Structure 1
Amino acid sequence: MNAKPRRFAPRTAALLLVCAALGCGGAALPLAAEARVKAAHPRVNVTTVLPPQVMAGLQRAHVPLSSISVVVEKIGDRTPIVALNAGKPMMPASTMKLVTTYAGLSILGPDYRWRTNAYADGSVDANGVLHGNLYIQGTGDPKLVPEELIDLVQKIRKAGITGIDGALVLDKRYFDPSTRDLPPFDDDASAPYNVGPDPLLYAFKSLSFTLTPSSDGSVAIDVLPALAQLQIDNQMRAVNGPCRGDAASVSPSVAPQANGTVIASFTGDYSVRCGPRTLNVAVLDHSAFFAGGFLALWQQSGGTFSGATREGAVPLGARLVAMHQGPVLSDIVRDINKFSNNTMARNLFLTIGAAEEKPPATPAKSARAIEAFLRRDSVDMEYLTLDNGSGLSRDEHITALALADLLQRANASPVAQVFVESLPIAGVDGTMRNRLTNRGAGGNAHIKTGTLRDVRAIAGYVASADGNSYVVVSLINDPHSEAARAAHDALLEWVYQGPEQGARQVAAPVTEPRAKSASAADGKPRKNPRKRGAH
């Protein structure tokens, strides 16, 4: 995939006036927004309709056209083939991660690595015991999981420290305190997707409990990661009978105790027919969770600890004893987009602000840094509103036209290959693995999904059967959006089948010839998405 940057001619916009064509009542775009789009992009004015199969999906879901925003463009030609409500600000849900990850890759670089450092401020005796404090300083590594943190533990031991009789001190100054202990997005505070950002984010601050019933009436409970202060009170019984109930019926009660331990209590009956089940539960605060995880690994490696844990700054006289570098940003972005990981996206979002405007990171610094980058990159973000960069917000907004602009620019950028390959592939992996599995678009569409209550979104690239590649964006903000997945799938399949031919069949005449972009004029539009079977 050629990653050479490419200049585009000024954008032209095709306004899709669906309601006017169908007589469905109401303007397709608010008049003020429509006027702004026409003023900015006056060359083309197409009157057309959405494909019948997409319309049918919207009608079945009871989603009116005023609630959906759609843009379809050929790669390298920024004149939309389809544009409905294109300039209307919409909640994008997790498609906002495209803004954060593209900006992150471009500003920080695909090979950027977070560092987690260990410092000591006391002497080490002949037995390897540190008579002083051990400081752990975090910079927001989004993937500091047990397999990564053990590297820091082993490096500390290689530095000659086998015991600590001082305190374990956590330096978390890289993010501003205002970014911590935020209220959850919804009422499910124990859901991992609600975990907020932190400079010492460990294992997404979530425990995975695996319940395995046995015919002897017992239920084995395993937990990852290990926390030094965690104890399991297992009073579950394996019983015969049908498997009923949801995860809530077997979820533990997690309670910190006065002596510093944390007890996870399991009670009730669990059917043998349910088989093994894994529950993911967010627990404790970030500092307690990190300290427990670090000390569990420290003790498993043979290390000793007799002090307390607290937060604090690394003193000037402390010496660096170990440094862990996390995975490269390209791998982090893949995890964020493939699996729509909100917590990782929020840590990346804050890291951008810290890197561009110096720590401590704040959302305002990050928003300024990203908006400044997009302006330099000639991406029109008039209605962009950034909150936490993950899309898990009712305050984040963007237009389909702006998101299409970003996808075009990302496709022409030096980070194109890394960015596109981070998106879920329809019918193959990530959040798209179970969609379009038996359709032509399966394996031929790299699509970021987004879902919130009253929001459903798709944005990405489709390699069509006619040999071209297209940008596709569709944002639905409506109480019935959850039922509109079929409409989005129909849109992706329609693009795969060849949208230009389909558009000619349903569109009214174009009032002016479309202007070709510089990249389209040379007859070699870039095709980012891989064809079926390519990995």
Structure 2
Amino acid sequence: MFRRPLLCVLLTLLPLLAQASGFSRIAELTDKGFRVGAEARLLGSGELLGAIEPERQLSPASVSKVYMAAAALDRWGPQHRFTSRLVSTAAPDAEGVLHGDLVFDGGGDPALTSEDLWRLVQRLHQTGVRRVDGRLVVSQWRYGPVECLTTDRCQAHSRVANAYSALLSSAGVNFGSWCVSVAPAAAAGEPARINSCASQAPIVGIDNRVETKPDDSGTELNAERVLRDTGDVMVIRGQISTNARPRQVYRASSDPARQSADTLLAMLEQAGIAVREGASVAVTEPPESARELAAVEGEPLQELLLRTLNYSNNFMADVLALNLVETARASLEQGGVALEAFAAGIPGHGPVTLRSGSGLTPENRTSAAGVNALLESMYHRPALFPSFVAALQSPGNGVMRFIRRGSPTFQQHVMLKTGTLNRPVAVRAVGGYFRTRSGQWGVFSVLVNGTATTPWLNWRQVLDPLAADLEEMIDAY
């Protein structure tokens, strides 16, 4: 008499078991207490190949960046370029003197580099400017300083030991991070030679605690950027061998607009353009009477997205999201609202919560089905899809070495974006496309979230079972 209830229970579970069958190995993570959402299906027929609670709202971490990439392509198109300008209400006189302030109008280029600033300075030099009798003013009127929403970014103002938590500004340069080059001295026992990457003279303060060691002694560097009364200081400790090549070290600055001001001022001086009153930062828009003296265009959007997604660059992702906001003084939350509005227009997407374009904000929520709906929508937009899919990585030759796992089938038939968070809970998320043996396109998304009681989660625990599950789907079709 106990068989009938048991049979009823099994019949009730059959649809769930059938859905999860395509992710039989990923499903084992649920037995360990992790919250999992997963879905894989073919794009042509819509056939569902596997699912585990695909509508479940979970943190996508950096998989959030695919929303940013899709929204940016939808708004501007692949060839859009952001422009940075030098403007002034004054004009240089016959002797090359600019009697007024020189204003850097930050255009929100997420990949503005020292090389771009140098080109901008050279173009200013071509106009005949040789001296500025006012100030160099870096204007971040579009947005900045942007309120920090995550612990990493809030702490980064005073001190930081990484580059991924860079603060945000429409006038930021070098991804909001300082770069210094560490080279060995001529002889062992002497301090290493440390300079700014973009200048012979240091632009950022340097506290050099690196000792040069004999040949083949190995190189070990530890770096922290701290904010002192004198400004930002890079504290570098460790050792470098006399026969080692120079090493570049990146750490987030305390103020990206101030960093741009210091960098641009140094370049003006190198180009022989003196600035009498130094540099400052402003949040006001340049006056309407200001005219353009020099301008430089950044890389096209499709190139920016390649860098943003391949390297999961948080600074670039959030700056692009801020650029989506149509009003000045944009906040990161407003950027998230713009992304949510874009997602709301995707057929069959469902609920989504986005507080940033980078995914650094742990409040971001979406579902595996939602990510797949976005991926499918981009697949059906031939003018945008090539630029979108090119920004994803193939495990076999992607820049992130940790994804080079699984069989040749997984490595050569899949394009993906990963997402990682470790606090407040562990998050490992993956979404992307696959091609079956017969050439059919498919989409897949797997979101794995820990809880306060689940153990540490590493990428091997997710990528290995995912590779095996996807391999079976790819081979079956």
After superposition, what is the alpha-carbon deviation per residue over 1:170-228, rounded to whole angstroms, capped at 9, x for unaligned? 22111265546975348663421101221101001212333333572132324323376
Distance in 2 between the 1:380 and 1:319 partners? Answer: 45
Match of 2:212 in 1: 238
- Alpha-carbon offset, residue 81 of structure 1: 1.5
Distance in 2 between the 1:245 and 1:238 partners? Answer: 9
Q: What are the ranges of 5 or more consecutive residues in structure 2 without an aligned counterpart?
A: 1-8
| In the alignment, structure 1 residue 168 sits paired with structure 2 residue 140 | no
Q: 1:99 to 1:376 in 2, by over 3 A?
A: same
2:22–2:51 Cα contact (<8 Å) kept:
no
Q: 1:436 to 1:74 in 2, by over 3 A?
A: same
Q: 1:63 to 1:223 in 2, by over 3 A?
A: farther
Q: 1:158 to 1:493 in 2, by over 3 A?
A: farther
- Alpha-carbon offset, residue 50 of structure 1: 4.8
Residue pairs, 1:27-426, within 5 angstroms? 46-51=18-23, 53-54=25-26, 58=29, 63-64=32-33, 67-175=35-143, 177-179=145-147, 184-185=152-153, 189-213=160-184, 216-217=187-188, 218=190, 219-226=192-199, 229-240=203-214, 247-248=221-222, 251=223, 254=226, 256=228, 258=230, 264-266=234-236, 269-270=239-240, 276-312=246-282, 313=284, 314-354=286-326, 358-382=327-351, 384-413=352-381, 414-426=383-395
- Aligned residue pair count: 454
| In the alignment, structure 1 residue 451 sits paired with structure 2 residue 423 | no
Match of 1:530 in 2: none
Q: Helix, strand or coil for the counterpart of 1:336? A: helix
Q: Helix, strand or coil for the counterpart of 1:76? A: coil
Match of 2:435 in 1: 463
1:445–1:460 Cα contact (<8 Å) kept:
yes
2:176–2:253 Cα contact (<8 Å) kept:
yes
Match of 2:6 in 1: none
Q: Helix, strand or coil for the counterpart of 1:368? A: helix
Q: Helix, strand or coil for the counterpart of 2:280? A: strand
Match of 1:498 in 2: 473
- Alpha-carbon offset, residue 265 of structure 1: 4.9
- Alpha-carbon offset, residue 368 of structure 1: 3.5
2:221–2:236 Cα contact (<8 Å) kept:
no
- Alpha-carbon offset, residue 404 of structure 1: 0.8
- Alpha-carbon offset, residue 229 of structure 1: 4.2
- Alpha-carbon offset, residue 268 of structure 1: 5.7
Q: What are the ranges of 5 or more consecutive residues in structure 1 without an aligned counterpart?
A: 1-19, 29-37, 39-43, 503-535
- Alpha-carbon offset, residue 434 of structure 1: 5.0
* Bigger Cα displacement from structure 2, 279-288 vs 235-244: 235-244
Distance in 2 between the 1:94 and 1:440 partners? Answer: 25
1:200–1:287 Cα contact (<8 Å) kept:
yes
Q: Helix, strand or coil for the counterpart of 2:50? A: strand
Q: Which amino acid aligns with 2:414?
A: A
Match of 1:487 in 2: 462
After superposition, what is the alpha-carbon deviation per residue over 1:442-481, rounded to whole angstroms, capped at 9, x for unaligned? 1321110111110001100112334322111001101446
Q: Helix, strand or coil for the counterpart of 1:475? A: strand
Q: Which amino acid aligns with 2:319?
A: N
Q: Which amino acid aligns with 1:373?
A: F
After superposition, what is the alpha-carbon deviation per residue over 1:417-461, rounded to whole angstroms, capped at 9, x for unaligned? 110011011120233575137522213211101111100011001
1:53–1:487 Cα contact (<8 Å) kept:
no
Q: TM-score, normalised by structure 1?
A: 0.76
2:146–2:169 Cα contact (<8 Å) kept:
no
- Alpha-carbon offset, residue 272 of structure 1: 5.6
Distance in 1 between the 2:182 and 2:202 partners? Answer: 20
- Alpha-carbon offset, residue 267 of structure 1: 5.3
Distance in 2 between the 1:51 and 1:287 partners? Answer: 47
2:42–2:441 Cα contact (<8 Å) kept:
yes
2:59–2:427 Cα contact (<8 Å) kept:
yes
Q: Helix, strand or coil for the counterpart of 2:323? A: helix
1:93–1:457 Cα contact (<8 Å) kept:
yes
1:242–1:271 Cα contact (<8 Å) kept:
yes
* Bigger Cα displacement from structure 2, 163-172 vs 119-128: 119-128
1:440–1:497 Cα contact (<8 Å) kept:
no
Distance in 2 between the 1:138 and 1:319 partners? Answer: 15
What RMSD, in angstroms, separates the aligned Cα atoms of the two structures?
3.3
Q: TM-score, normalised by structure 2?
A: 0.84
Distance in 1 between the 2:19 and 2:149 partners? Answer: 50
Q: 1:443 to 1:47 in 2, by over 3 A?
A: closer
